[in-house]
Amino acid sequence: MKYAVIMQARTNSSRLRGKVLRELQGKTVLEHDIERIRQSRYIDEIIIATTERKEDDAIVAIAKKCQVPFFRGSEEDVLSRYYYAALAFGAEHIIRITSDCPLIDPHVIDEIIGCYEEKKPDIITNVPNEWEKMTYPRGLDLEIFPFWWLEKAFQEADRAYDREHVSPYIYDHAKNRYYYRYEQDFSKYRWTLDTPEDWEVIERVYAHFYHGIHNFYFEDIIGYMQEHPEIAMLNQNIQQKLG
């Protein structure tokens, strides 16, 4: 099996422009994403899927700096961007991660890959659409699905929403969906990066933990948040965007 993380990234995000180019402790958010994902034991390739816009040359520059392959495609039709990126690099199984998650955890990735191999679902995720099933903080989000499902979605999805958000067609048509849950519910925490409030939370986490090496993970950050509940309060009222 060839597992490829395809990480969508662009600079003109609607709520916090240029967020993946912001610096945390001397490196961009995108560089931190890549460094953390590289710690996975099972991932064969990390592919940055960005757009053809001139502004996104900066994302390509980071990909080159980190020696990570990249693909440039449609800005709005993200599904086609994923499909052609997977096709170009021969991905057999796609791990979808967004670039606004600088606390993504390689151990969580590996646990979910292990479950995917055992259960063999059409799609697996730790972020179900039903909020009551959530257990992980936002910001550890990922989905895994085989290339043939991505190809089917690319060929058949005709709603703009499906083209923009990549996987809704799979959820709507797959019979075997698996929601990966943690043993405790930590869904109240928000570690993704969409707003200035999110940025303040992530800045504080990095200021506390990051000293040139990524050796802090999901449970370490939970412990920090429990010791400092005022940090989690900073972005608790932010509404999560769909997709």
Q: Give me the mean pLDDT over the 70-95 stretch.
A: 98
The answer to whether residue 209 is domain-embedded is: no
The answer to whether residue 30 is domain-embedded is: yes
Q: Tokens for 65, please give them.
A: 């700096």
The answer to whether residue 239 is domain-embedded is: no
The answer to whether residue 218 is domain-embedded is: no
The answer to whether residue 158 is domain-embedded is: yes
Give the least confident one: 25-29, 51-55, 93-97, 233-237: 233-237
Q: CATH number, domain at 163? A: 3.90.550.10
Domain count, the chain: 1
Tell me the C-alpha distance between 5 and 194, whole Å: 21
> What confidence tier does 242 reach under pLDDT thresholds 50, 70, 90?
very low
The answer to whether residue 240 is domain-embedded is: no
> What confidence tier does 121 reach under pLDDT thresholds 50, 70, 90?
very high
pLDDT tens track for 178-190 = 999 999 999 999 9
Residue of 5, 16, 20 lying closest to 56 (CA atoms): 20
**pTM of the predicted model as reported, rounded to 2 decimal places:** 0.94
Residue of 82, 64, 86, 65 lying closest to 73 (CA atoms): 82
Q: Provide the mean pLDDT of the chain.
A: 95
Tell me the C-alpha distance between 229 and 80, whole Å: 41
The answer to whether residue 71 is domain-embedded is: yes
Residue of 143, 140, 50, 62 lying closest to 96 (CA atoms): 143
The answer to whether residue 215 is domain-embedded is: no
Q: Give me the mean pLDDT over the 124-149 stretch.
A: 91
Domain, as residue range, for 52: 3-187
> What confidence tier does 13 reach under pLDDT thresholds 50, 70, 90?
confident
DSSP state of 124: E
